[in-house]
Chain A
Amino acid sequence: MAEPAKKQVVDFYRYPSIGGDDWRYAFAVARVRALETQMVTRSTLLDMANAAGYEQAVELLSSSEYGLGKGAMGFDELENLLRARRSAVRQLFAELMIDERIVELFRSRTDFANMRLVLRRVLTGKPLGDDYSDEGNVSPEQLAEVFEGENYHLLGDYLSEAVEQTVLNYYQDKDIRRIDYTLDAAQAGHNLARAAELGSVFLLGLFGIQIDLNNVRTMLRLKFTDSQQRNVFLKGGFVEIDRFRRGLDMGSDAVAGLFFATPYFEVVQAGASFLVSDKSFLKIEQQCDDYLNGYLRSTVQITAGPQPIIAYLLLKEDEIRKVRLILTAKRSHLDAKLILDRLG
C-alpha cells in the first residue's frame, strides 16, 4: 500500500526553530564568537564593491585575515589563497565540533561534488583524472580506486546508493544532467536523514531552507530557459513541490503571489521582478543568500551549542565567495552596479 502523502506545513513566520543549548559547546562557541568579530563586515564589502579599482579593493582587505599583498595577483593565485582560507575554516570547524557525525555531514558536500565530476567522466568515457578535492570523507585516491574497480560499496552507504541510482538514471536516456539531478536529490535526502538521525532541529531547518531556496531558484531558472522539465525539484523542503510546479505555469510577474503564505514571498518577489526587468539572476541569488544568512545569524541567541559553529562555517564560506566575487569583478573591470546587485 502506498504511503499517504505527508502534508507539509510551514509552522514558522520568518525562520524555523534553531533548537536549544548544548553546554558541551561552551568553549567552542566562545571561540567562534571571538572569531566572528574578525569577519569582513558588510560595509567593507560595499566599500570594496565601490572602490575605484582592484588595487583599492585589495587595500580594504589589508587589515583582515585575507591580507592580500599590494602587488598584482593573478586569478590562480587569488583562487589558491581563498581556497586555503576555506580549508582553514573547515579545519577549524572540524576541531571545534564535538560530534564527529556533523563534521562528516558537512564534509559530504565535497564528496557529492567529487562524485558529480567523477561520474560525468566515467559515464561519458572520459579519463578519470586526479583533480578531485581532498576535503571530503572519501579521499581522491580512494575515489580513483573505487571507480577503477567499480567497487561502489567501498564508498559507504549513502554514496554507494547514490552512485548506483545515478548510473541507472543516466542510462535511461543518457542525459548528462540526470547525474546532477540524481546526486542533488540524494544529497538533499542524505542531509535530511542525517539531521533527523542527529536529532538536530537546527540542521533540519537549515537543510529544509536550503532545499526550498534551491527549488525557488530552479523554478525561476526553468521559467527563464523555457524548459519543460518538471521533475527536478528537491523533496524535503518546507514548501510542497506542487507549488513550484504550479509556478512554472504562471507568468513571472504573478509567480510571487503563489508564495504569499510562505516565508519566501519577499525572496521570490524581488528575484522574479529583477529577472523580468534585468534578465539576471543576481537578485534572486542575493535574496536567497540573505535569507539563509539571516537564519544562520539567528543562532546568536544560542549561548552554547553546535548551531553557532555551523553558522560560522557557512557564513565564512559565504564571505569567501563574496570576496572572490568582488575581487574577480574588480580585476575584470566590471561595473560596480553588477557587484552591488549581487551583494544587495
Chain B
Amino acid sequence: MLANVNATRMELLQLRRRVALASRGHRLLSEKRDEISRNLIQIARRIHPLRKRVEQELLRTCRRFMLARASMEPEDVKAALAVPTKKFNLAVTFANIMNVKVPQLAKQMEGEIICYGFANTSGEMDVALMALERALDTLVELAEKEKQARLLAVELQMTRRRVNVLEHVVIPEIRETIKFIYDKLGEAERDNISRLMKIADIIRA
C-alpha cells in the first residue's frame, strides 16, 4: 500500500477520515459480536437440556414401538400403519436477532395419531405413538433453537473475522500510511525550509 500512496495533504485528510470510519465500524462490529455471542450462549444453554429430553423421549418411543412391532403379526403391523391419519404442518416465520433472520417454527397438527382398530394391534403401539406425539413439541422447539444457533454461529464467525480484519489489518495499515505521509510531508517541509535558507544566504552574500 505504501508504494502506491500519494504523499499529499489531500490523501492524508482522506486517510484520516477513513481511519475514523474504520474505528467506528470496528466498535460497532465488536458490539454486534458481543451481542451475538450473548444470544448464542443463551440459546446453547437451552439446547443442551432440550436435546437430552428429545433423545430420551425418542429412545423410549422407539423401545415401545419395537416391543409393539415384535409382538404383532407382520401383516397386522403393515395394515395398521399403512395410511396415517395425523397431518402435520410446520409454519415458519422469521425473527431478527442482530440483523440475522432466524426461523421461528409453529406446528399445526390435525387428526388422531391412533389410526387403527384395537383387535389386532398392541396397546404398546398406542403408548409409542402418543409418546411420539408429545415428543414432537420438544422436537420442533429443538429444531428451531438449533437452526437459530447455527445461523447465529455463522454470523458470529463472519463478524469476528470483520472485527479482526479491521483491528489487525485495515486500521494499522491506514495508520502506518498516515504516518508515512506525515513523515514525507514533514521531510518535504524541512527540504523547503532548508532550500529557502540556502537561497537567503546566497542573496545576502
Contact = CB atoms under 8 A, between A and B. Distances in A.
B126 A188 contact: no
15 contacts: A116-B117, A120-B82, A126-B83, A180-B119, A184-B118, A184-B120, A218-B118, A221-B123, A224-B127, A225-B126, A225-B130, A234-B119, A280-B64, A282-B67, A334-B63
A131 B127 CA distance: 27
The 5 A-B pairs at the shortest CB distance, nearest first, are namely A180-B117, A281-B123, A184-B119, A116-B79, A113-B75
Contacts of B67: 282, 325, 328-329, 334, 338, 342
B135 interface: no
Q: Is the interface of B mostly helix, strand, loop or mixed?
A: helix
Contacts of B82: 117, 120-121, 126
A214 B118 CA distance: 7
Nearest to B124: A281
A342 B112 CA distance: 27
Contact of B126 (A83, A126, A224, A282): A224
Interface in A159-208: 176-177, 179-181, 183-184, 187-188
Interface of A: 79, 83, 110, 113-114, 116-117, 120-121, 124, 126, 131, 133, 176-177, 179-181, 183-184, 187-188, 214, 217-218, 220-222, 224-225, 232, 234, 279-282, 284-285, 317, 321, 324-325, 328-329, 332, 334, 338, 342
Contact of A285 (B76, B83, B123): B123
Contacts of A325: 67, 70-71
B37 interface: no
B83 A121 contact: yes
B18 to A, nearest CB: 64
Interface residues of B, number: 33
A188 B122 CA distance: 18
Contacts of A83: 74
Contacts of A133: 75
A284 B123 contact: yes
A61 B75 CA distance: 25
B83 A177 contact: no
Nearest to B131: A279
B182 interface: no
Nearest to A288: B123
A213 to B, nearest CB: 10
A64 to B, nearest CB: 18
Contacts of B112: 177
A177 B63 contact: no
A114 B85 contact: no
B78 interface: yes
B69 interface: yes
Contacts of A188: 119
B127 A281 contact: yes
B17 to A, nearest CB: 68
A113 B69 contact: no
Contacts of A176: 83, 85, 115
A83 B85 CA distance: 29
Contacts of B122: 281, 285
